[in-house]
Homo-oligomer: A and B are copies of this chain.
Amino acid sequence: MSRPTPLRVDDDELALLTDLYQLTMTQAYWQEAMNEVATFSLFFRRLPPQRRFMLACGQQHAAEVASRLRFTDGALGRLASVDHFETGFLDWLANWRFEGEIWTLPEGTPVFANEPLLEVDAPIAQAQLLESLVMNLVQLETVLASKAVRIVMAARGRPVVDFGMRRMHGVDAAVRGVRAYRTAGLSGTSNVLGGLRHDLALNGTMAHSYVLAHDSEREAFHAFAHYYPQTTLLVDTHDTLAGIRQVIDLMRDAPEVRVSAIRLDSGDLGELAKGARALLDEAGHEDIKIVASSGLDEQAIEALLEDGAPIDAFGVGTQMGVAADAPVIDLSYKLVEYAGTPRVKHSTGKINLPGRKQVYRRQDATGHYGGDVIATRDEAIDAATPLLVPCVEGGRPVPEAMALADTARERVAQALTHLPATLRRLDHGETGYPVALSAALERQVARD
């Protein structure tokens, strides 16, 4: 029998969560005594066609993790078993720590192609070693928040609850995903550990199994409503409208039973919601809300609400849990400067922006985002706000730059009010949102 495989990644294993070449390149830098300051830039070249913007999330958390990354004796012992590393290098790694700067977009900032989400300035052997872990951490939250915010927009102010834990990719995604959902503006989650850790309200109803385990639907409803006053009852186990009549009859016959909502989880949700609303209103239960779930995404929610479906809240799982229509964003972490000289890979057909950068965002007279300028780090651009802020300096987190969860959530809520209409649309297509290069950056590109 195989020894039980742990599910846990301990803090002292995090430094090993990297690609082998980061360590072999770093050993080469050490051997070559290459220790000039490098700048690496984290960005994506193209928006997925299914997205009109991405919400940059996780980068301040990733910077904080980077600032406390260490190679423990345990980790070094395991590296010694890999046939690539010299004792002198492992001794050097024992004292390795990140001592540079990390500039980031604040979490919850809408971001577009070629804009840095994060830039790292540090001796090359420090900056190189962050690559794989930082990319993994930033991608997860960025991909999930960017999907979730579309669902929040589609719901037009109605609560959206995360039901996705069972569909997410493993334990860390399930827990940390709730952090991204909170930032994106979800109202609650069914995920107990995720909600407790990241302070998002816990919501839950009941499953079909509960109804089936009882001798009748009525008996199941009666028991559950008795134990959980003001609960939500799942009405579609056998026949949805008949299930709603059961709820109405039960409330008539057992006045102690009070229900706050019913949940629809299969069938034509729009038609069933209308039928449910009519039955409930006719019985005088205008106060009972209708919750819908079952394979929902932003398009389905938009279509339901366009059609006037009287749905008060949405539970969303499968499509949001893995951001199924765009589960990956092709982030790059590219060397853009070394020893004071801008450097980039010259690839045909790809924009590569050399040197340290800043992103400026303009707002038009109505307060809407009017366009961005990617500039060199130290430029000033008139009438525009610089977005990248230093959040690690001298290897230490800058307290006032680190995202409080509430701040990031508030930032997203604010950003949604500033997005121009073309960015708020949920269909696929070109946004026309202007992202220009500053004159100084243009010169740097031309010179390079």
Interface positions of A (Cβ within 8 A of B) = 1-2, 4-11, 13-14, 16-25, 27-29, 31-32, 34, 38, 40, 61, 64-65, 68, 78-79, 81-82, 84, 124, 128, 131-132, 135-137, 139-140, 143, 163, 165-177, 179, 190-198, 202-210, 212-213, 223-224, 227-228, 237-238, 266-267, 318-319, 321-324, 327-328, 330-331, 334-335, 338, 343-348, 397, 399-400, 402-405
Contact = CB atoms under 8 A, between A and B. Distances in A.
Contact of A212 (B11, B338, B400): B338
Contact of A32 (B40, B143, B223): B223
Contacts of A7: 9, 11, 14, 65, 137, 172, 176
26 contacts: A1-B404, A2-B404, A5-B61, A8-B8, A19-B163, A19-B204, A21-B206, A25-B206, A25-B209, A28-B224, A31-B223, A82-B192, A124-B213, A136-B166, A167-B328, A168-B169, A169-B177, A169-B322, A170-B173, A208-B345, A212-B335, A212-B343, A237-B345, A238-B345, A321-B328, A323-B327
Contact of A11 (B8, B40, B175): B8
Nearest to A407: B2
Contacts of A34: 213
B21 A196 contact: no
Given A24-B228, A227-B28, A17 B330 contact: no
Contacts of A132: 165-166
Contact of A2 (B6, B20, B196, B405): B405
B400 A1 contact: yes
Contacts of A64: 4
A331 B190 contact: no
A128 B211 CA distance: 13
B192 A18 contact: yes
A44 to B, nearest CB: 11
B17 A192 contact: yes
Given A2-B403, A8-B8, A173-B169, A190 B21 contact: yes
B25 A207 contact: yes
A413 to B, nearest CB: 18
A31 B227 contact: yes
A347 B266 contact: yes
Contact of A20 (B11, B203, B343): B203
Contacts of A171: 9, 14, 17, 136-137, 172
Nearest to A195: B20
Given A4-B68, A7-B9, A323-B327, 4 more contacts: A34-B213, A124-B213, A169-B173, A321-B328
Contacts of A32: 223
B192 A19 contact: yes
A448 to B, nearest CB: 11
B192 A20 contact: yes
A28 B222 CA distance: 11
A136 B20 contact: no
